[in-house]
Amino acid sequence: MAKIEQIAQSFLGQIQANPGQKYDICRRAAYTFMGLAQDPKNVRAMQQLAEVGHIFARAASNTRPPVMDDFADQYLAGRTPIPCVKCNMGVKFTDLFTLARELGADCLATGHYVRRVIGAEGPELHRGVDPARDQSYFLFATSRDQLDYLRFPLGGMDKGAVRALAGEIGLSVAFKPDSQDICFVPDGDYAAVVRKLRPEADTAGEIVHVDGRVLGQHRGLIHFTVGQRKGLEIGGQAEPLYVVRLEPERRRVIAGPRAALAVTSARLSDINWLGGPIQAPIQAKVRSMAKPVPARLDGDTLLFGTPELGVAPGQAAVLYDGERVLGGGWIEETA
């Protein structure tokens, strides 16, 4: 048990370093090894090191209908989808929850870089301590019931420490390169995936300036997203051009200068609220790599403190109170 004790000591160190923080312990935890499962040898290595049993549950066959098809349809509708959120809502936090409970587990532990903090009114979702790896944006749709059952043992560590620990206990994934790609788009070619699922997606159309001038032709809306600069291939303009919006009904890409990207509000749908009463000011994050900005939520309308650039329908707007995730919703339209 030396190796598993080493892991336990690492997390004990986190607890001792934060004496005022509340923690709760699961006696029987179900752990997910989503990335490790691509190589069963890694899962078996973890099982042998920890001296725990393991079950292979191949969920990949269930991935395409809800996640990949939605991904393709969103692009056809001129939106910018986030399949990782939909996967968390479906395969990971629905199918795996069911399996974990059937196995009699007290909780489900995942490798997401977020923190579950016990607050005055129960579990809260907080950003991971490593800002470069924080994944709270992708978990905004987690329900309160799900959060009560989940555990995130890596959220209090930075990625370097996790790699070092994995190396010390002999896991080959300690040296595996990081990946920012969607799991079913490993080469980053989103258009190719959409084209394969929806052959009609490569329909050409006009590129139109915000002032109404037709500037040229494009190869298909699936090649563009709001805020994009590269790929328009329109020269001879006084200023660089960006994709301002997409009009799928007319198959048009509307382009304009950077200033044309600025919006003051966004209408949200399917808002999930994890926090208590809404308190002003809050911060909103409208892209996974963006910094949270001051905002205010009025019903289903998110009002930005200052004009925000590149807010794309189909993306999520995730709301924070400092480190705590209050909730979020899907961006439907901007103004």
Alpha helices in the chain (DSSP H): 2-17, 40-50, 69-76, 83-87, 96-102, 144-149, 159-168, 190-197
Q: Nearest-CA neighbor of 135 among 154, 121, 117? A: 154
- Catalytic residue selected from 26, 84, 107, 183: 183
Q: How distant, in Å, are the alpha carbons of 130, 160, 275 from that of 322?
A: 15, 24, 12
Whose structure tokens read 């179900």?
30
Q: What is the largest CA-CA distance in the chain?
A: 70
Q: Who contacts 131 (Cβ-Cβ below 8 Å, separation ≥6)?
A: none
- Catalytic residue selected from 26, 84, 87, 107: 87
Peptide bond into 257 cis (omega under 30): no
- Edge-first strand order for the sheet with 252-256 is 214-218, 205-209, 252-256, 242-247
26 is catalytic: no
Q: Please state whether 144 falls in left (phi above 0), alpha (psi between -120 and 50) or beta.
A: alpha
Q: How distant, in Å, are the alpha carbons of 69, 169, 196, 200, 300 from that of 203?
A: 18, 52, 14, 6, 33
Strand partners, 304: 295
Whose structure tokens read 């029987």?
28
Q: Which two tokens mark 234?
A: 């329109």
> Which residues are tagged catalytic?
87, 183
